[in-house]
Chains A and B, each alone.
Chain A
Amino acid sequence: EVQLLESGGDLVQPGGSLRLSCAAAGFTFTSSAMSWVRQAPGKGLEWVSSITGSGDSTYYVDSVKGRFTISRDNFVNTLYLQMNSLRAEDTAVYYCARLVASIVPYGAFDIWGRGAMVTVSS
């Protein structure tokens, strides 16, 4: 079964750090570009970051650049998002998604996880 399963969501104080994980199954992870997309409570979708299948290239929305780091471990089929210097405006459900793209990060997201809630609050 094709599946993405996020973990690591939590309540964290402003300025704190958190690492999200996304375990993939049922498709060839090593050849799949992957992404994180977030959704603030009651709001729309926002692309956050993407990474190529090899992990050689990464891309970020301006609002998280320098604070978030996307990475992957193709030996254990897992995607990560390290989030540092967290702000209240980072509060959202974070979805892991497979990116279908000829040129990363320009593509559509065809497989989604259920999401992990990150709350930044004191």
Chain B
Amino acid sequence: EIVMTLSPAALSVSPGERATLSCRASQTISNDLAWYQQKPGQAPRLLIYGASTRATGIPARFSGSGSGTEFTLTISSLQSEDFAVYYCQQYDKWPPLFGGGSRVEIK
């Protein structure tokens, strides 16, 4: 079964700085990867699908890249509302699977 590994598990970043999260798939998944943001007590929100396409209403500071097994989510200039947990999800192989989550914290 495919394994999704998200790193780092936690990241401390100052407001205005760049944050980069990595998601690695144990098998190639083409570009069938999504990124989500989840704040405490809230449902997840879709940020990126198709590895690099922003979902409706997502600010341009969020960008996704990669294909095959290596993927990256970049937040170019962190705003206060961006401190949250981020998940990647593959939808190329059975079963649809989320990575373990990466917490972006205020430094």
The residues of A with any CB-CB pair to B shorter than 8 Å are 37, 44-47, 50, 61-62, 95, 100-101, 105-110, 112-115
Q: Are A45 and B43 in contact (CB under 8 A)?
A: no
Selected from A46, A50, A108, A112, the residue in CB contact (under 8 A) with B34 is A108
Q: Which residues of A lie under 8 Å from residue B89 when comparing CB positions? A: 45, 108-109
- List 19 additional A-B contacts (Cβ < 8 Å) besides A109-B89, A114-B43: A37-B44, A44-B99, A44-B100, A45-B38, A45-B98, A46-B98, A47-B97, A47-B98, A95-B44, A100-B49, A101-B91, A105-B95, A105-B96, A106-B91, A108-B34, A109-B44, A110-B46, A110-B55, A112-B46
Q: Are A112 and B55 in contact (CB under 8 A)?
A: no
List 22 A–B pairs whose Cβ atoms lie within 8 Å, in order of A's numbering: A44-B98, A45-B89, A47-B95, A47-B96, A62-B95, A95-B43, A100-B49, A105-B95, A105-B96, A106-B32, A106-B91, A106-B92, A106-B96, A108-B49, A108-B91, A109-B36, A109-B89, A110-B55, A112-B43, A112-B44, A112-B46, A114-B42
Q: Are A113 and B43 in contact (CB under 8 A)?
A: yes
Q: Given the complex of chains A and B, what is the CA–CA distance between A44 and B56 in angstroms?
A: 24
* Residue B45 interfacial (CB < 8 Å): yes
The residue on A at minimum CB distance from B35 is A108
Q: Given the complex of chains A and B, what is the CA–CA distance between A62 and B1 in angstroms?
A: 12
Q: Given the complex of chains A and B, what is the CA–CA distance between A110 and B53 in angstroms?
A: 12
* Residue B71 interfacial (CB < 8 Å): no
Q: Are B44 and A45 in contact (CB under 8 A)?
A: yes
